[in-house]
Each structure stands twice: as C-alpha cells, then as structure tokens.
C-alpha cells in the first residue's frame, strides 16, 4: 500500500507550506504557499545567501531607507517564489505586507507590483496567487484584483463570515486556519478527544459544506495544521497546505487513508449569508476567536516582515 501522502494526493491537491526548496523537491506538491514568517526562515537558509547578496549589492547601505527595505523584502519573496515556480506544476502564493491589511488601495497596488515583478521574471498570472489577510479591506482588495485577472488567496481566515464574504467577492482561494483555531480553544481548556472534535477541523468542514451547498467556485484550502489527524479528518478537501514536518510524517505512514470530504456529500443546510460591511464587521466582532486570531496573525506576520527588513538592512 502507498503511504498516506501519496493516498492523499489522489483526492486532494497537496500544497507545501514552506519556502524551503529542498523540502519542495522532496515531497513534489502541486502548489506552494509562502508568508512573511516562512520567507524570514528561508532567508536564513544557506541556499538563499547568494540570492540575497545579489539583491543587496544593487544598493549601498546609505540608501537603505524604509521604502527601499519594503521593496527589497517584496523582491526577495518574489525571487524565492520564482525558484519555487520551477519546482511545482501549479501556483505559488506570495503575501502582501501584513501592515497593509486595513488599506484596500495599498493592497491592490502591492498585488499589482508583486505580479509585475513575477512577470519580469517570465512568470505569468496563471502561476500566481496574491495572498491577502481576510479583513474587510483585504477582501475588497481581492475583489478588485480578481476582476483584473490577478487571482488571490485570502488567508488568516477563521470564520464562516469571512469565508462567505471571500466567496461573494470572487476570491480564487481561501486558507481557513485549523491549528490556530485549536490553539485558541485549548488555551481555554478544551481537549478534543479525536480530530473530528477539533474545532479547527469543524470550521473547515462547515465552510466546505457552505461553499458546495451554494455552488461557490472558491477553492477551500485548509491550512495551519498541528498534527496529521487534522489532515486526515479533512482528506478530500479541495486543497491542503502542509508543513514539511507533517508532509514527512504522512510519507512515513503506510496505513490506509479514508477520504472524508466529497463535493456531493449531504451536508446540513445553511442559509446563504447576505453580507455588507457593517454586517461583516459585527459578525466578526461577535466571534471572539476569529477576531482575536485575525488580529494576532496580522501582528505576527507584520513583526516577521520587520525582522526580514532588519536582516536585509544588516547585509554588507
């Protein structure tokens, strides 16, 4: 019998959640996703040092102001993304600066800029996903970019209300976070007995069923896993983005993997949500977990963006 990773690939598109080229070569995923935290880790790997040196040598240290550092960090993310594009047959997600998460116009401009940088390297729109936080402003930015043919991955998604708004905006893909939802509940005393009791797993199943019930084309890509039990419970989801450590664990497991989700399954009925900005903001405000984890995630990605820029500023 094939290992669980190979079995999973039979009914779910597997995406590598990493900027590590060697890990991507090893596991042969369909797509790959990056974020500021992963780019920061990748920037510290030996294989990227020559790339960073070449990027930095174009500027003298005296010219490295805040704007240059922001651009350099974006260019580095694109350079790494371009390397990954040569290794995966599908798409690579590159994230806009988290500090722009409440500025629609700035996110649109950044999405266009990232796309332009890729095109300068001969990589077209069809290979890209622009990754944007699922704030109201981020969802509106995605709506604009999608109309321009720039496909988007809405990330830091923790609730059905966010997912519904993303689908209404025509987002290509959403990344509902599993592990971070579990973390929030565990911190408050919850200890799930099985993966099916995991609130993060339950959230993704609810979103998946809502999309299939109402005929949305937006792709559901579960993300942020804490263990392979969560992955197994969501086997059959459109896509799953998985860290190298968990990809390795799946590849070493020879047990049978049973598919759990199918588009034609009978799900509990959920009325279609009618959303506007005030309804979205109120519903998100009323969901303590989602609002807290969204804010926490934006702060964490912004902090790692600052660390990445500091790393670039220190290069001689």
**Residue 131 designated active-site:** yes
CA–CA separation, 214 and 117 (whole Å): 36
Could you tell me which of 271, 247, 309, 270 has the C-alpha nearest to residue 67?
309
Q: Which two tokens stand for residue 82?
A: 């371009």
CA–CA separation, 239 and 11 (whole Å): 9
Could you tell me which of 278, 177, 162, 145 has the C-alpha nearest to residue 210?
162
Radius of gyration of the chain (CA): 19
DSSP conformation letters of 242-302: E-HHHHHHHHT--S-------TTS-----PPPP--HHHHHHHHHH-HHHHHHHHHHHHHHH
Q: Of the residues 4, 9, 41, 131, which is catalytic? A: 131
DSSP state of 135: S
Write out the catalytic residue numbers: 131
């Amino acid at each position: 019998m094939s290992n669980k990773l190979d079995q999973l690939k039979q009914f779910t598109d597997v995406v590598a959640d990493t900027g590590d080229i060697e890990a991507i070569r090893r596991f042969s995923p369909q797509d790959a996703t990056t974020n500021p935290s992963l780019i920061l880790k990748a920037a510290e790997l030996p294989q990227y040092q020559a790339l960073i040196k070449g990027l930095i040598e174009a500027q003298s240290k005296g010219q490295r102001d805040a704007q240059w550092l922001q651009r350099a960090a974006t260019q580095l993310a694109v350079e790494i993304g371009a390397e990954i594009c040569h290794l995966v047959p599908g798409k690579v997600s590159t994230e806009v600066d988290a500090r722009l998460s409440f500025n629609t116009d700035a996110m649109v401009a950044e999405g266009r800029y990232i796309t332009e940088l890729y095109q300068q390297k001969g990589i077209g729109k069809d290979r890209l996903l622009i990754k944007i936080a699922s704030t109201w402003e981020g969802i509106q930015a995605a709506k604009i970019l999608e109309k321009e043919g720039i496909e988007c991955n809405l990330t830091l998604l923790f609730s059905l209300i966010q997912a519904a708004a993303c689908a209404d905006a025509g987002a290509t893909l959403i990344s509902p976070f599993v592990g971070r939802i579990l973390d929030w509940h565990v911190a408050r005393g919850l200890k799930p007995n099985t993966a099916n009791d995991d609130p993060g797993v339950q959230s993704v199943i609810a979103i998946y069923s809502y999309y299939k019930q109402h005929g949305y084309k937006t792709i559901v890509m579960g993300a942020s896993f804490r263990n392979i039990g969560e992955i197994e419970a969501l086997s059959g989801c459109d896509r799953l983005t998985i860290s190298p450590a968990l990809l390795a664990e799946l590849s070493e497991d020879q047990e049978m993997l049973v598919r759990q989700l199918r588009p034609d399954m009978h799900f509990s009925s959920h009325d279609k949500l009618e959303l506007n900005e005030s309804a979205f903001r109120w519903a998100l405000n009323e969901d303590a977990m989602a609002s807290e984890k969204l804010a926490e995630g934006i702060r964490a990605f912004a902090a790692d963006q600052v660390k990445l820029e500091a790393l670039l500023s220190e290069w001689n």
